[in-house]
């Protein structure tokens, strides 16, 4: 059975958008996904969150700004999140942040988005190890401190690790999707 996958993202400086494009390109050729699966990109600037109901798998891209603030496109739709029915959806989150310049708020938006959908009856996948990062605090970290609620990327300080982390994370979420099918 083919899957309809969507990447919803907001992007101010294009890093979240470029990552969404990489995700689409890599998943489009992933042999582990069922034949006929599709990956569609949705820029929140042009697409309402209500469109999420049309997909089986949602990959949500968000960046953290300044002192733990939401990216502007997500912020503009923030009140709409609770109204979207995510019943039966599989959801993964990735986010951008600066672990050195904003060490007390590193990828907070991942945690804020995770919290915003936590009451929804969806399957959350794609938790990512905190190992290899240097930060003081984050809303995106599980209570035990070992996992982010999604893939954390830092284009300011660890850009050289982005492609490898993204590839490993995509392998992980495809495996998790397969286990849930």
- pLDDT at residue number 181: 82
Grouped pLDDT means (10 residues each) for the chain, 181 residues? 96 96 97 95 94 97 96 95 95 97 98 97 98 97 98 97 98 96 82
- pLDDT at residue number 160: 98
Instruction: Enter the pTM of the model.
Output: 0.97
- pLDDT at residue number 1: 83
All structural domains of the chain, each given as residue ranges with its CATH number in brackets, are 4-180 (3.40.50.360)
Q: What is the 3-state secondary structure (H, E, C) of the chain?
A: CCCEEEEEECCCCCHHHHHHHHHHHHHHCCCCCCCCCEEEEEECCCCCHHHHHHCCEEEEEEEEECCCEECHHHHHHHHHHHHCCCCCCEEEEEEECCCCCCCCCCCHHHHHHHHHHCCCCCEECCCEECCCCCCCCCCCECCCCCEECCEEECCCCCHHHHHHHHHHHHHHHHHHHHHHC
């Amino acid at each position: 059975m083919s899957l309809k996958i969507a990447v919803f993202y907001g992007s101010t400086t294009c890093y979240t958008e470029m990552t969404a494009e990489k995700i689409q390109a890599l998943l489009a050729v992933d042999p582990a996904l069922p034949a006929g699966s599709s990956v569609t990109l949705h820029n929140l600037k042009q697409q309402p969150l209500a469109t999420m109901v049309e997909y089986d798998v949602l990959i949500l891209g968000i960046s953290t700004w300044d002192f733990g603030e939401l990216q502007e496109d997500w912020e503009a739709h923030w009140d709409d999140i609770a109204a979207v029915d995510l019943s039966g959806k599989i959801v993964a989150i990735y986010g951008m942040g600066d672990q050195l310049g904003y060490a007390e708020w590193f990828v907070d938006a991942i945690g804020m988005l995770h919290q915003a959908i936590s009451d929804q009856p969806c399957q959350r996948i794609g938790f990512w190890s905190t190992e290899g990062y240097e930060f003081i605090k984050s809303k995106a970290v599980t209570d035990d401190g070992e996992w982010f609620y999604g893939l954390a990327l830092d284009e300011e300080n660890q850009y050289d690790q982005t492609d490898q982390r993204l590839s490993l994370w995509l392998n992980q979420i495809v495996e998790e999707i397969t286990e849930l099918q």
